[in-house]
C-alpha cells in the first residue's frame, strides 16, 4: 500500500497551522510544518512533499522568494496563502509558479477541495535512490550499509540517518536545525552540539583525515555540506 500524500504547511500563524493540520490529518494526509520561509524551503528540499501550502507573508524569507527557490528544483504543487487581497499578489504568485491562490480567511471545505484537485494532477513521485555513490563513499540504502574504499564501515542508526540526509542533498547546505528535527525530532531537548559530535564521528569513519575533511564540510553559520565530487 502506498503512503498517504505528504503536505508541507509553511505558515507563521499558529492558529491557521493548527486548523489546517487537524483537517488534513483527519482526511488521512501526512503533514509537515514550518514557521518561516527559510525552514520551509529546507523542508521542501529534504522531505520532497507532494504539495506545499505557502503563506506569502513569512519571517526570514517571504513566500514569494520561497516559491522562487522551490521552483528552481521542483514542480511540486503549491497553494499560496495571503491575508491581502490585492490582485498584484495573486498575479505575481501565479507567474512565479504557484498552482493556486487563496486569500484569508477561506473556507475549509474549499481548501480541502483545492488540495484534492491539485494532488490528482501530481505525477507519480520519482523513485528514490537505492544507492548513493560519491568518490570512495557508497551508501547502500536498501541494505543499510556504508562502504568506503570497498570496506564496509559500521554505523549507528543516527549516524546512518545523518549521512543519508547529507548525501541525498550533496552539493547543498543542510542546516543544523533541519538535521536535528529530521533525526532527533521536534521534541528533542538537547542542543546543537549533538550534531557536531555525530559529524565528528562520521568524519572519523569516512574521511582519510577527519581534521581536513574531503567530503563533509562545515559551512560556518549555515550548516553542513556533503561535497558532490
Domain 131-226, CATH 1.10.10.10 — does that match? yes
Phi, psi of 144 (to 5 degrees): 55, 55
Q: How far is Cα 93 from Cα 100, in angstroms, rounded to an integer?
A: 9
H-run or E-run covering 30: strand 30-34
For residue 174, the cross-strand partners are: 224
Question: pLDDT per residue over 115-159, tens digit each?
Answer: 988 888 764 544 456 889 999 999 998 788 999 999 999 998 889
pLDDT of residue 119: 87
pLDDT of residue 228: 85
If we measure between CA atoms, which residue out of 146, 147, 135 comes closest to residue 213? 135
- Written as nine digits, the cell of 62 is 517571504
Look up cell 564540510; give the residue.
217
pLDDT of residue 186: 55
pLDDT of residue 6: 93
pLDDT of residue 129: 62
Whether residue 96 has pLDDT greater than 60: yes
Question: pLDDT per residue over 20-31, tens digit each?
Answer: 999 999 888 999
Between 79 and 98, the higher pLDDT residue: 79
pLDDT of residue 177: 81
Q: CATH fold of 6-121, please?
A: Rossmann fold (3.40.50)
Q: How far is Cα 129 from Cα 168, in angstroms, rounded to an integer?
A: 8
Cis peptide before 198 (omega within 30 of 0): no
Q: State the number of CA atoms in the 13 A half-sphere of 121 facing the CB.
A: 12
Question: pLDDT per residue over 166-183, tens digit each?
Answer: 998 899 888 888 888 778
Domain map of the chain by residue range? 6-121, 131-226
pLDDT of residue 127: 47
Query: What mean pLDDT is predicted for residues 197-215?
Result: 94
pLDDT of residue 130: 80
Q: Outline where DSSP puts E strands in 36-166.
A: 51-55, 78-82, 100-103, 131-134, 137-140, 145-148, 151-153
Kindly state the percentage of the chain with pLDDT values over 70: 87
Q: Outline where DSSP puts E strands in 69-219.
A: 78-82, 100-103, 131-134, 137-140, 145-148, 151-153, 173-174, 216-219
pLDDT grade, residue 13 (50/70/90)? very high
Q: How far is Cα 174 from Cα 178, in angstroms, rounded to an integer?
A: 7
Q: How far is Cα 102 from Cα 79, in angstroms, rounded to an integer?
A: 7
Amino acid at each position: 500500500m502506498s503512503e498517504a500524500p505528504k503536505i508541507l504547511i509553511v505558515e507563521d500563524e499558529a492558529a491557521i497551522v493548527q486548523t489546517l493540520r487537524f483537517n488534513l490529518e483527519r482526511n488521512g494526509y501526512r503533514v509537515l510544518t514550518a514557521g518561516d520561509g527559510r525552514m520551509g524551503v529546507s523542508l521542501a528540499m529534504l522531505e520532497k512533499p507532494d504539495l506545499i501550502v505557502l503563506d506569502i507573508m513569512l519571517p526570514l524569507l517571504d513566500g514569494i522568494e520561497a516559491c522562487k527557490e522551490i521552483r528552481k528544483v521542483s514542480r511540486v504543487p503549491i497553494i499560496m496563502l495571503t491575508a491581502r487581497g490585492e490582485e498584484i499578489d495573486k498575479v505575481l504568485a501565479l507567474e512565479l509558479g504557484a498552482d493556486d491562490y487563496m486569500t484569508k480567511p477561506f473556507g475549509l471545505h474549499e481548501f480541502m477541495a483545492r488540495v484534492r484537485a491539485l494532488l490528482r494532477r501530481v505525477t507519480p513521485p520519482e523513485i528514490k535512490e537505492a544507492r548513493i555513490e560519491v568518490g570512495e563513499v557508497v551508501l547502500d540504502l536498501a541494505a543499510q550499509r556504508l562502504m568506503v574504499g570497498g570496506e564496509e564501515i559500521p554505523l549507528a542508526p543516527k549516524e546512518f540517518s545523518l549521512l543519508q540526509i547529507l548525501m541525498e542533498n550533496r552539493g547543498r547546505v543542510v542546516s543544523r536545525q533541519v538535521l536535528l528535527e529530521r533525526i532527533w525530532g521536534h521534541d528533542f531537548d538537547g542542543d546543537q552540539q549533538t550534531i557536531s559530535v555525530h559529524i565528528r564521528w562520521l568524519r572519523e569513519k569516512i574521511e582519510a583525515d577527519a581534521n581536513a575533511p574531503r567530503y563533509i564540510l562545515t559551512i560556518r553559520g549555515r550548516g553542513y555540506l556533503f561535497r558532490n565530487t
